[in-house]
A and B are shown apart, each in its own frame.
Chain A
Amino acid sequence: GAVVSQHPSRVICKSGTSVKIECRSLDFQATTMFWYRQFPKKSLMLMATSNEGSKATYEQGVEKDKFLINHASLTLSTLTVTSAHPEDSSFYICSARVAGGRETQYFGPGTRLLVL
């Protein structure tokens, strides 16, 4: 299957700093990538849809200015958590859509963010 990577896998930062998370499709081009947030033992909540070359579409309740998403190329999308606070601590997972057929989404391994 298609491979999606995320970097970093784990990050600890101080409150007030910004953190950038990268999501890359390694062996295919992804015109659409998705960013999810997951709390321990809970479901995945879609934050935004990232389309290459255009502005991201955010889900209701997600702060656009706090969670900046950039999809600069067909293989890379980034999520920047600006002015991070302890409540932003979570597991962030990206996925990339493989067009055609099943329209399967392949997920990255996730990034655990801890804001102190």
Chain B
Amino acid sequence: AQKITQTQPGMFVQEKEAVTLDCTYDTSDPSYGLFWYKQPSSGEMIFLIYQGSYDQQNATEGRYSLNFQKARKSANLVISASQLGDSAMYFCAMRVAGGTSYGKLTFGQGTILTVHP
């Protein structure tokens, strides 16, 4: 079974500073993908960044980077230069290959990020 754990129910950060949101995962499948999504109060799920289990380098997308530590089974999201608009719920998710529900995502509990001016 796959499991995603986000241990930070809430995080606070000052505008323009960097923040790290934690995510650990557990799977016995050697092939998997890790995702981060942002969910503002409107409810839409916005894709931020992806890391494949075989990727050698950490993924980066603009101000978002993923600190992938495979041996520790962690995939932390780093947001640099936080903006007020970054305030939202953030979800870490994992997809494993194969199975009848190929491509389905397992989500963590989420972290509410609040950016202060």
Contact = CB atoms under 8 A, between A and B. Distances in A.
Interface string A91-116: 10101010000111111111010000
Nearest to A99: B103
Contacts of A107: 37, 44-47
A103 B31 CA distance: 12
Interface in A36-80: 41-46, 49, 57
Contact of B91 (A44, A91, A104): A44
Nearest to A9: B43
Given A41-B112, A43-B110, A93-B45, A102 B104 contact: no
Interface in B61-112: 89, 91, 95, 100-110, 112
A67 to B, nearest CB: 15
Contact of A1 (B37, B42, B47, B112): B47
A103 B45 contact: no
Given A34-B105, A41-B112, A109 B91 contact: no
A43 B91 contact: yes
Contacts of A104: 35, 47, 50
Interface string B17-61: 000000000000000010101000011111100101000000000
A93 B105 CA distance: 13
4 smallest beta-carbon distances between A and B, as pairs: A107-B45, A49-B101, A110-B43, A97-B103
Interface of A: 1, 32, 34, 41-46, 49, 57, 91, 93, 95, 97, 102-110, 112
Interface of B: 33, 35, 37, 42-47, 50, 52, 89, 91, 95, 100-110, 112
